């Protein structure tokens, strides 16, 4: 899974083992939905009650997933389980010796921390009341995972789920039942994990610094990102940003749109073509000839670079709303 991390594991000699380990999968919580269900008064007490209910469901899914994977026989993929890809088990041996005891990790994911926090506190999770509440949410999830790990004898970690189609699916559920995604807007997407929302005008360095706090509580896997235009004219700013990421982030990416017009009479290539959201997704328009159908754009949809041949309506809106967090003149240094 993109961005998934494994919990630390030591062998019988006390040595940390990093190679040949694996993740059993993830079940993700729709935090905005949990905040709004049976809660028109925006009560924090109701939210915690709802969260307990949905955590019990997630825990049952996690228990089933772990026990199911443990029963799988090594014969299903000899190159992985018998010949050293991930293990050297005997033919016919199940995976229980790997799944239990902490060698493998299973994850509880979450999405929409911003919308959830906004609904309950009327603030973003980087503001005063919102920050306190958002940290309480992640602390609660980590406490749940710690207890489940002990009960199940398997490492359960908190995961910032990389939403692809889920960004649309979760938002649709919120809009269907409550009319909005948690912040009273008509957006068709929710915000990935602990991120500052894509539409907030904030510089790269402040964005990454805010997200660092929540990344540190999402140790089953997380990612931050910033959007930039063509920064080839300011390499110093990019190097400064990379150094900042190295000092402050567990994992981060830099997004930049590079488009190519395939109209044979044009063939223009450049950055940041005009974006157009349609019922079929999103298109980029060539600034020279106006072409949209034959423009190909290389860009990160979420954790992956894509040519964006087809995305959901929610993901298209998410991409359309993204602001630039760095510009060609910008630096993080104080003057």
Helix (H), strand (E), coil (C) string for the chain: CCCCCCCCCECCCCCECCCCCCEEEEEEEEHHHHHHCCCCCCCHHHHHHHHHHHHHHHHHHHHHHHHHHHHCEHHHCHHHHCCCCCCCCCCCCECHHHHCCCCCEEEEEEECHHHHHHHHHCCCCCCHHHHHHHHHHHHHHHHHHHHHHHHHCCEEEEEECCCCCHHHHHHHHHHHHHCCCCCCCCCCCCCCCCCCCCCCCCCHHHHHHHHHHHHCCCCCCCCEEEECCCCCCCHHHHHHHHHHHHHHCCCEEEECCEEEECCCCCCCEEECCEEEEECCEEEEECCCCCCCCCEEEEEECCCCEECCCCCCHHHHHHHHHCCCCCCCCCCCCCC
| Per-residue model confidence (pLDDT) at position 334 | 40
| Contact criterion met (CB below 8 Å) for 147 and 12 | no
| Per-residue model confidence (pLDDT) at position 335 | 34
Sign of the dihedral through C-alpha 279, 284, 289, 294: negative
Query: In the sheet that 155-160 helps form, which strands lie side by side, from edge to edge?
Result: 23-30, 105-111, 155-160
- Nearest alpha carbon to residue 275 among 313, 316, 307: 316
What is the pLDDT averaged over residues 64-80? 96
Q: What percent of the chain has pLDDT over 90?
A: 76
| Per-residue model confidence (pLDDT) at position 332 | 47
- Nearest alpha carbon to residue 183 among 112, 277, 110: 112
| pLDDT higher at 163 or 150 | 150
Listed by start position, the domains of the chain span 23-191, 241-321
Average pLDDT of the chain, as a whole number:
91
Dump pLDDT digits (tens) for 87-144: 999 999 999 999 999 999 999 999 999 999 999 999 999 999 999 999 999 999 999 9
Dump pLDDT digits (tens) for 255-275: 988 999 999 999 999 999 999
Q: Residue 329 pLDDT > 70, yes or no?
A: no
| Contact criterion met (CB below 8 Å) for 54 and 46 | no
Question: The tokens 């670079």 sit on which residue?
Answer: 305
- Nearest alpha carbon to residue 114 among 178, 207, 38: 207
Sign of the dihedral through C-alpha 192, 195, 196, 200: negative
Q: Residue 18 pLDDT > 90, yes or no?
A: no
Distance between CA atoms of 203 and 162, rounded to whole angstroms? 22
Q: How far is CA 236 from CA 22, 209, 272, in A?
A: 38, 20, 21
| Per-residue model confidence (pLDDT) at position 304 | 66
Q: Which two tokens stand for residue 181?
A: 């995604």
Distance between CA atoms of 172 and 246, rounded to whole angstroms? 36
| Per-residue model confidence (pLDDT) at position 333 | 45
What is the pLDDT averaged over residues 242-253? 91
Dump pLDDT digits (tens) for 162-200: 777 888 999 999 999 999 999 999 899 999 999 999 999
| Per-residue model confidence (pLDDT) at position 281 | 84
| Contact criterion met (CB below 8 Å) for 255 and 225 | yes
pLDDT class for 11, splitting at 50, 70, 90?
confident
Four-point Cα dihedral 312, 318, 320, 325, nearest 10 = -150
| Per-residue model confidence (pLDDT) at position 194 | 96
| Per-residue model confidence (pLDDT) at position 96 | 96
| Contact criterion met (CB below 8 Å) for 145 and 96 | no
| Per-residue model confidence (pLDDT) at position 163 | 79
What is the pLDDT averaged over residues 212-241? 92
| Per-residue model confidence (pLDDT) at position 129 | 98
């Amino acid at each position: 899974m993109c961005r998934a991390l494994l919990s630390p594991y030591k062998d019988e000699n006390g040595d940390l083992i990093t190679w040949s380990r694996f993740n059993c999968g993830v079940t993700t919580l729709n935090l905005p939905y949990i905040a709004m269900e049976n809660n028109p008064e925006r009560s924090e007490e109701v939210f915690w009650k709802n969260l307990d209910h949905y955590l019990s469901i997630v825990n049952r899914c996690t228990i089933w997933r772990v026990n199911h994977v443990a029963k799988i026989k090594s014969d299903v993929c000899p190159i992985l389980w018998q010949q050293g890809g991930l293990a050297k088990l005997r033919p016919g041996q199940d995976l229980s010796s790997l799944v239990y005891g902490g060698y493998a990790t299973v994850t509880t994911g979450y999405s929409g921390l911003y919308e959830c926090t906004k609904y309950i506190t009327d603030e973003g999770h980087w503001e005063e009341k919102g920050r306190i509440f958002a940290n309480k949410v992640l602390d609660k999830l980590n406490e749940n995972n710690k207890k489940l790990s002990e009960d199940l004898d398997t490492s359960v970690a908190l995961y910032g789920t990389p939403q692809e189609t889920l960004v649309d699916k979760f938002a649709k559920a919120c809009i269907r039942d409550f009319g909005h995604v948690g912040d009273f807007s008509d957006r068709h997407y929710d915000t990935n994990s602990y991120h500052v929302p894509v539409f907030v005008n904030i510089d790269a360095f402040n964005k990454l610094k805010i997200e660092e706090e929540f990344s540190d509580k999402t140790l089953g896997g997380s990612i931050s990102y910033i959007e930039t235009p063509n920064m080839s004219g300011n390499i110093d700013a990019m190097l400064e940003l990379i150094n900042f990421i190295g000092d402050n982030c567990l994992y981060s990416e830099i997004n930049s749109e590079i488009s190519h017009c395939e109209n044979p009479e044009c063939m223009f290539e450049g950055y940041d073509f005009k974006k157009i959201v349609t019922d079929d997704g999103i298109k980029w328009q060539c600034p020279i000839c106006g072409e949209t159908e034959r423009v190909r754009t290389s860009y990160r949809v979420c954790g992956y670079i894509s040519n964006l041949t087809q995305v959901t309506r929610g993901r298209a809106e998410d991409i359309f709303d993204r602001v630039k967090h760095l510009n060609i003149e910008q630096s993080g240094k104080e003057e």
